[in-house]
Amino acid sequence: MSYYFISIGGSGAKVLEALTHLCVAGVMPTREEINILAIDPDSGNGNLERSGFALNSYIKFQKLSVGNDTPLFKTKMTLIKPFPWNPIEIDKTLDDLMDYQIYKGGSLGNLYEVLYTRRERNTKLNEGFRGHPSIGAAVLAKKYTLRDNKNTQWTDFIQKIKQDANNGGEIKIFFAGSVFGGTGASGMPTIARLLRNDLKDNSPDKNTILIGGAFILPYFSFPPPAEADKLFARSENFLTNTKAALKYYAQRENVFNAMYFVGDSHVTHFQKFSIGAATQKNDAHIVDFYAALAAIDFFNQPADYSQVYNCIFHNDSNKFSWSDFPALEEIENGDAKDFEFRKRFAKFARFVFAYVHFIKPVLRGLSSGDIKDYQYPWYVDYFSEADIVNTGAVKNFEDYAESFVTWLKQLETLQDREVALIKSAMFESRPARIVNAEEFYACDGVITNPKLTLHEVWYRLTEDLNLDSSINGFGKFLRRLYEACDA
Amino acid sequence: MNRDLRTLAKLATIIAVTFSCVILTYFITSSITGHQLATASGNMAFSRWQEKFQSLTINAGILSFLCSLAWFVLTRWIFKINSSRGIGKRTVWAALAALDLIGCVAIPQFYSSTLGIKINFIVIAVFIIFFAGIGYWLLTIFTTPKIFKYTPLGARFFLARK
């Protein structure tokens, strides 16, 4: 079985960020590796930068030895490089990309002039398709069909999928992107269709290679750009774009085995318009979280599942709580069993908070010689033998922990509405820290074990735990800390 | 062994080791220098001297027991760790060690005159070895809860995982 996740555009990148955190927390159904591909013409956009940071940090420390009997770091992730794949060279316009000069004056050139306005043709596409899926569809289709060229990543990517399919494995490919913007709206149907056609020989029954997608519906708006005459994405067009996209999926041949439409009836208003690049840094949103859960649901479905039309609602429109999320299960040794999403996520959150609160300052203090190590039995027991602290794994994990807490804080900051996952009053981000230690044991809103205080975690950290002898180094310590956070 | 059982075992160890220290101190001191001190104490009958010396030993043992028990109670139930700084509590451990050490010198010095017996440096040395050395230092190394296990000086030598 092989899993592929393809994020397209800024919305896709945000889903990728949520999926990364859920994978690190061990929420995926199996231990199968996920191959990650990101497609974004605006490769410098802030959303992608953030998800790329979390993902790259995880990729660097995911090989830590924590054992195979724990959900922690269960799902490994692999990047398909280049990450992201940018289908557009710098300072290119649509005319450049479509070789307009070659066709100019001919029937194809004339048709092209009819389909695209002069402004669409002459705008440099460094910041993506600027909310115009018609541009994106043309560019992506053209770039995709050039895959035989050695310079593109598609040859290797398709070969890898074909190889997996030929080995008799089941392939699951999941797309995530918006239906209302530029890149996602154009890339989702285009790439999926071309990919399906490409892989037709390897999956004649359509069930060997399954394609799913999370289609993000409009959930935010932003003020119109100051320069009204230029080509920009405009939030007032989102609904029109969405309507057209949905009509397309309803009427055209559907290449998707599973489609998850995720939206929000409350529109989140962003104060600032961003054309793209680093300034396009939208906070994490509960919609991303749901879309990542959709990916997990898709990866968990059996290969022969018939088309189902599930709908998920939440109870209180002004509040998101644990009961609003779908039930999850995992497969261990071939058997599927339910697990409580809340418990697993909360344990992981406590683990990260305990790390940033207790461990990180100590490791820094010890490195600088400010404090004495006798106060920290876990340090003496796990760290003093080898120079673990100065390995890249510690730094990468700390970077990841910071990005997790920032993401969680953003997720729970939803204009006028409450997201009651991990108690927001308990922690702060940037830098990540616990501000109310009293809330630690019930950080998920449920008092499972009132004795699970920070003191208790510290205590457990100094006690022995029977672990496989192959578990060692910093991974062993992280595993001990993770188990210490069990309610 | 779970934490509660470990706690009971450590409390039992503190009682047993202190009791053993009292007995050993009493018999070792008596056999080494008891007759000499009984003679020096106004030709006191040896059995009478032993009776008074037993009381002296028990009092020193009680002080040692209280110090090691106090350390155990503080580290097991009183000290709470909620942040990563200032948590070693070595000052508290050292203060109790100093109290015990002073007791090992002061109790024989002052209580012996109340009892009307003489003591010498051997008594002080044996008291320090058994009540401060074994009865507090070694005992706290092996009975301190794991959360503070490297706080007693030298604990790392005995306890750090090889």
In the numeric block, which tokens belong to residue B108? 């024989």
Separation between Cα atoms, residue A366 and residue A376, nearest integer Å? 10
Contact A257, A213 (CB under 8 A): no
Peptide bond into A204 cis (omega under 30): no
CA geometry: angle B113, B118, B122, nearest 5 deg: 125
Residue type at position A177: G
Position A227 scores a pLDDT of: 64
Cα(A243)–Cα(A258) distance, integer angstroms = 19
Decide if A286 contacts A235 (C-beta within 8 A).
no
Nearest CA in chain B to A455: B81
- How large is the C-alpha radius of gyration of chain A? 24
- Provide the pLDDT for residue A231: 56
Relative to beta strand A34-39, strand A2-8 is parallel
Q: Looking at the predicted structure, is the pLDDT value of residue B59 above 80?
A: yes
User: Quick one: pLDDT band at residue B143, thresholds 50, 70, 90?
Assistant: very high
DSSP conformation class of A283 = P
Collect all residues of chain B within an 8 Å Cβ-Cβ radius of residue A361.
84-85
- Taking CA A381 as the corner, what is the angle to CA A377 and CA A382, rounded to the nearest 5 degrees? 115
In terms of C-beta density within 10 A (0-12 exposed, 13-18 middle, 19 or more buried), how is residue A107 classed? exposed
- Residue % of chain B over a pLDDT of 70: 99
Q: Cα–chain-centroid distance for residue A395?
A: 21
Measured between CB atoms, does B2 come within 8 Å of chain A? no
Q: For residues B130 and A468, which has the higher predicted lDDT (pLDDT)?
A: B130
Does a cis peptide bond (omega within 30 degrees of 0) precede residue B108? no
Q: Does B90 touch chain A (CB under 8 A)?
A: yes
- Tokens representing B135 are 């009865």
- The reported pLDDT for the residue numbered A278 is 56
What interhelical angle do A473-484 and A454-461 show, nearest 10? 140
Pairwise CB contact (< 8 Å): B146 & A361? no
Q: How far is Cα A373 from Cα A48, in angstroms, rounded to an integer?
A: 39
Between CA A63 and CA A82 the distance in angstroms is 21
Chains A, B: CB pairs < 8 Å: 56
What pLDDT, on the 0 to 100 scale, is given for residue A317? 81
Residue B141 has pLDDT above 90, yes or no: yes
Q: What is the ipTM of this complex?
A: 0.89
The distance of A358 to chain B (nearest Cα, Å) reads 5
Q: Establish how many alpha carbons lie within 13 A of residue A102's alpha carbon, considering only the half-sphere containing its beta carbon.
A: 4
How far apart CA A8 and CA A41 sit, in angstroms, is: 9
**In this predicted structure, what is the pLDDT of residue A5?**
96
Cβ within 8 Å, pair A459-B147: yes
Residue pLDDT, tens place only, B35-46: 999 898 888 899
Contact yes or no for A377 and B148 at CB 8 A: yes
* CA A163 vs CA A2, A167, A175, A202, B143: distances in Å: 10, 6, 20, 9, 61
H-helix or E-strand containing B124? helix B121-127
Q: Calculate how close chain B gets to A321, using CA atoms only, in Å.
A: 28
Q: What confidence score (pLDDT) does residue A264 get?
A: 87
Among candidates B82, B146, B156 on the partner chain, residue whose Cβ is nearest the Cβ of A463: B146
Residue by residue, pLDDT tens for chain A (487 residues) are 889 999 998 899 999 999 999 999 999 888 889 999 998 887 667 778 888 899 999 998 888 889 888 999 999 999 988 888 887 777 788 888 788 888 888 898 889 888 888 877 887 777 777 677 777 778 877 777 665 555 566 777 888 888 888 777 788 999 999 988 778 888 888 888 888 888 877 665 556 789 999 999 988 776 776 665 565 666 677 788 888 888 888 888 778 889 999 988 887 777 665 555 555 667 899 999 999 999 999 998 887 766 666 777 777 888 888 888 887 877 777 777 777 889 999 999 999 999 999 899 999 898 888 888 999 999 998 887 666 777 788 999 999 999 999 999 999 988 778 888 899 889 999 899 999 888 898 898 888 888 899 999 999 999 988 888 888 889 999 999 999 999 8
Q: Which residue intervals of A252-390 are DSSP H helices?
A: 286-300, 341-354, 360-368, 377-382
Q: Which helix (H) or strand (E) holds B156?
A: helix B155-159
Contacts of A380 in chain B (CB under 8 A): 150, 156, 160
| Contact flag B82-A455 (C-beta cutoff 8 Å) | yes
